[in-house]
Amino acid sequence: MMLTPSSLVYEQVQIMEPAVKGTLNVLKACTETKAQRVVYVSSMAAVAMNPNWPVGQVMDESCWSDKDYCKRTDVSNSIAQLTQLRWDDLNLWSDHVNMQALLTFSDLIMSLQNWYCASKTEAEIEAFEYAKTSGLDVVSVCPTLVLGPMMQPTVNSSSLVLIKLLKEGYESTENKIRRIVDVRDLVAALLLVYEKPEAEGRYLCTSHQARVREIVDKLKQTYPHYNYPKNITEVADEMKISSEKLQKLGWSYRSLEETLIDSVESYKELGLLN
């Protein structure tokens, strides 16, 4: 199937409607079944895209992404490039995923993510508005980049972040901060906010904030022979995020080293690093 400009623009612009309607449909079903509490998995995308947040101030649960700012992103070039890719070229559902095509696809999709940020923000806002009017107890968790062992045999956009560091051999890459949470610690957070009666509102969920150079150095200690970036250039990245509220509820997390090693071992078992 070829991605056409009309279908892609439709999906980009109309992503807002299915995100919000889908969320509300689930919440209404929960009300009908008399659910005691709903834990809504949002995203840091609903938090971090806020150009008006004071520089240097730690982002907490009071910070929301600016929907209008997200929607202003110019993605026309990425749309044009995406129309040249065919779904069949990716081989997503086979044992031999076309990694090069998938990595290209991932890079282009990442440039469209501001519409994703807008949709996640709107959907979470609507979830809490629905909670106010219906009386349904809604708690949200906003995770950052989720790494760790994978259950499915195909890659996702989160795992690609690490896979590309291991395989691509970039001539140069930026020393950005990666804000990471282990999938197992995220699951523990979801259970915690569901079970704790005092849990309320939003919870940001992140464990480690490490620059790319630190991540590569840690990986090299255990896996020295992968095709790492040749040069890492310094960039400004001062955004800070706090999971203090979640930790006060009793949440803890494993080490970055454990998350990285278990991620790589999982990718190896699935044949994603061949």
Catalytic sites, residue numbers: 120
Distant-in-sequence, close-in-space partners of 29: CB < 8 Å, separation ≥ 6:
none
Distant-in-sequence, close-in-space partners of 230: CB < 8 Å, separation ≥ 6:
169, 170, 171, 172
Check residue 139 and report its DSSP letter. E
225, HSE (Cβ side, Cα atoms, 13 Å): 2
* Tally of CB atoms within 10 A around 266: 18
> 3-state DSSP call for residue 266?
helix
CA distance 235 to 180: 19
Using a 10 angstrom Cβ sphere, with 0-12 exposed, 13-18 middle and 19 or more buried, the burial of residue 225 is exposed
83, HSE (Cβ side, Cα atoms, 13 Å): 11
Range 192-200, long-range pairs (CB < 8 A, 24+ positions): 192/246, 192/249, 192/250, 192/251, 193/39, 193/139, 193/141, 193/246, 193/249, 194/37, 194/39, 194/139, 196/249, 196/250, 198/249, 199/139, 199/249, 200/139
CA distance 246 to 249: 5
CA distance 208 to 45: 17
* Tally of CB atoms within 10 A around 172: 9
